[in-house]
Structure 1
Amino acid sequence: MKVRFLLIMLFSTIRVAYCQQSIVAKFTVQSAQRNHVDQTLFYTSNNSYFVFYITADKQVYFGSIVSKTDQQSYGAISELTRTSAPETQSSYASDTFNFKWSYSNSYDNHQGTANVKLVKISKPGGVAFELKIIPETLDLLEYKGFMEGSLNLD
């Protein structure tokens, strides 16, 4: 009976914590590279995406999710800067976000900090993105794809 009660309490706590997050934007991966080596098949076949979400206490988090393998990296962002570039004859309008990401990996319990650059590109068919992540190992992780949602982090 005690075990049953503890399980009910655990699932209730998880559900409440999950409900207190609000996803702001989702970035579906269509292309991926690690140190200029193509990793696209792994990310696309496992329904991988990135998200920005806001917690109940209004803190902005960033997450990397590999759905089919239940792998996640997640954590708070800081030092967020944003620059915008208007559409020109030779380029689409874009917004560039730079920030530090303090992350934790669910799959190996590693914690670290990464520099992140996200470019959101407004194209006629939708919003594309280019993402570069440089963790403390100085690996270069690059992703491209499309965005869902609106990225209002102000």
Structure 2
Amino acid sequence: MTDEAHDIAGPIDFVIIRFPAKTAAFTGEILEEVSRLVEAGTIRVIDAIVVVKDDDGTVDAFELSEYDESNTLESLVGEFAEFLAADDVAHLAEAIDPGTVAGVLVYENVWAAPFAMAARRAGGELVADGRIHTQAIAAAIEAERELEEQGA
């Protein structure tokens, strides 16, 4: 195991962001935001890939650095690049429809490392974690607004 692997102390997360293949408008803004998060010490990029699922269901995966003409991502990805195995890619591809492209980002939540290490030193053990997705929050807020409007 590398020294960098021993340095991982924060939780590891991944996100899959789906884009319709024919209408996606990539401007570089996403990579700029990831770069800002890395530079701020909020996250450390572990791996980043692009998954393409053709209309017939054929799946191809590429390291995101192959699409990054500015080489921004290459400088952000740690020595864990290619962290995702073929089985992982197959499971990730199940999350997207034919005819779409998805960006997959695996990252360490560096901001949480001091808290996680303190909890471990105190004998704590993670028993559950989760995430409330922004779409669910937006839907809940909208539903509450509709209820308020109906009651008013």
Q: Which of the five TM-score ranges fits, normalised by the shorter chain?
A: under 0.3
* TM-score, normalization by structure 2: 0.26
* TM-score, normalization by structure 1: 0.26
**Structure with the bigger percentage of helix:** 2
Between 1 and 2, higher relative CO (CA 8 Å, sep ≥ 6) is seen in 2
Bigger radius of gyration, 1 or 2? 2
**Structure with the bigger percentage of strand:** 1
